[in-house]
Amino acid sequence: MPPIPTGKSEKILLAPYAFHCVSSRGRRYPEAAHPYRGPFQRDRDRIIHCAAFRRLSEKMQVFTAEFGHYHRTRLTHTMEVVSIARTLGRALALNEELIEAAALLHDVGHPPFGHAGEKILDDLLKNEGGFNHNGQALRIAEKLERRYADFPGLNLSWEILDGQAFKIGKKGSPLLEIQVVDMADSIAYDTHDVDDAMEMGLLQPEDCLGTSLWKLSATKIRKRWQNLDDDLFRQLMIRDLIDIQVSDILAATQNRIRTANLSSSEEARTVPILVAPSAEMAEQKGKAEAFLFQKVYRHPKVMRHRSRICSWIEGIFEFYRQHAELLPRRYAPILSAEGTDRAVADFIADQTDRSARAEALRTQHDQPRSPIEAVL
């Protein structure tokens, strides 16, 4: 690939149904092309260098830091999504740079404490349109990040923002590159949550026989290697689970693309979702997810954390609702344009698990942030 994708190079390297950079609708605030980076490469760099992305390293995926140091954080989950998505994208001859940027952005809007944190913020904001991590990623990209003098947000390419908009209810089908990111997200969490839960003892190796998808993988591995210890067995199984899902999605998607006879990326937006598992795999995946939900996400140890997390977030929210003047100065424009609740929610969503916990303890004792912290 030449440093900057050109119409000619993309025609050779990408499928006709891939999104070609030359067709990009550009950015909300027009900018000159970069001398040696393509538009999505530039988007990727903007996301990686933004504060919200860095904070993912201290935001939980399913388990907080108190569970140990083996499990995924929101950042390492994101990197696994990027890796799987690029594999799918390259095999389908799609635009890998668009895929990478969209995957890096996909969880940037997550508040501290994962879905528990998101749910309580959504409840607290029910009169203000609610809170959703996918919508928050768009707020961050378009408004909240302050890194450029000429525009608010990151001024990402239209295609990246459009892809994120499908996650909050935009109708129709997104570009195939965005569909790939959605599937990679699902493969990543379905498999790494099994790994993390087993490491913590929330799932036992014999639980692998509980669903047909895991059983298939476990049986295959036990047959090939008879004397594996539990740890190595688990690693081989996780690897195999990713592999069989990626291979299934690739085969099923290639079939659908062939049948749809697509000749452009725009045509992919006019037909139902094409990047998806086979019907059989979708059923197995659904059962495995239901099993994970019951056994892991609703595990008493996880639920105990959940109630603590809710009271922390409620406490911070109430405190700053009463003391909006103590919010860092950068929330002033949100306070005046969108009101206290939204500004407080933006502030909370910006916290990491650790800083949210510190805020909760401090606000419980009615201790305001120090003048230095108030500026940050």
Q: Which residues bind Mg ion (CB under 5 A)?
A: 107, 185
Residue with Cβ nearer Mg ion (175 or 184): 184
CB of 148 to Mg ion, least distance (A): 26
Residue with Cβ nearer Mg ion (107 or 193): 107
Residue with Cβ nearer Mg ion (10 or 107): 107
Residue with Cβ nearer Mg ion (73 or 95): 73
Structure tokens at 335: 């306070």
Residue with Cβ nearer Mg ion (185 or 353): 185
Could you tell me which residues come within 8 angstroms of residue 360 by beta carbon, excluding any fewer than 6 positions away?
311, 312, 313, 315, 316
Residue with Cβ nearer Mg ion (185 or 195): 185
Residue with Cβ nearer Mg ion (289 or 338): 289
In angstroms, what CA-CA distances link 158 with 88, 134, 268, 327?
Answer: 22, 16, 17, 32
CB of 110 to Mg ion, least distance (A): 8
CB of 189 to Mg ion, least distance (A): 6
Residue with Cβ nearer Mg ion (107 or 196): 107
Residue with Cβ nearer Mg ion (185 or 248): 185
Entry field: residues in the chain: 376
CB of 156 to Mg ion, least distance (A): 18
Residue with Cβ nearer Mg ion (185 or 240): 185
CB of 152 to Mg ion, least distance (A): 25
CB of 77 to Mg ion, least distance (A): 6
CB of 294 to Mg ion, least distance (A): 21
Structure tokens at 44: 């990727």
CB of 182 to Mg ion, least distance (A): 9
Cα-Cα-Cα-Cα dihedral sign, residues 338, 343, 344, 350: positive
CB of 186 to Mg ion, least distance (A): 9
CB of 36 to Mg ion, least distance (A): 31
CB 15 within 8 A of CB 94: yes
CB 195 within 8 A of CB 66: no
Could you tell me which residues come within 8 angstroms of residue 55 by beta carbon, excluding any fewer than 6 positions away?
350, 351, 352
The single-letter code of the amino acid at 354 is R
CA 76-80-85 angle, to 5 degrees, is: 145
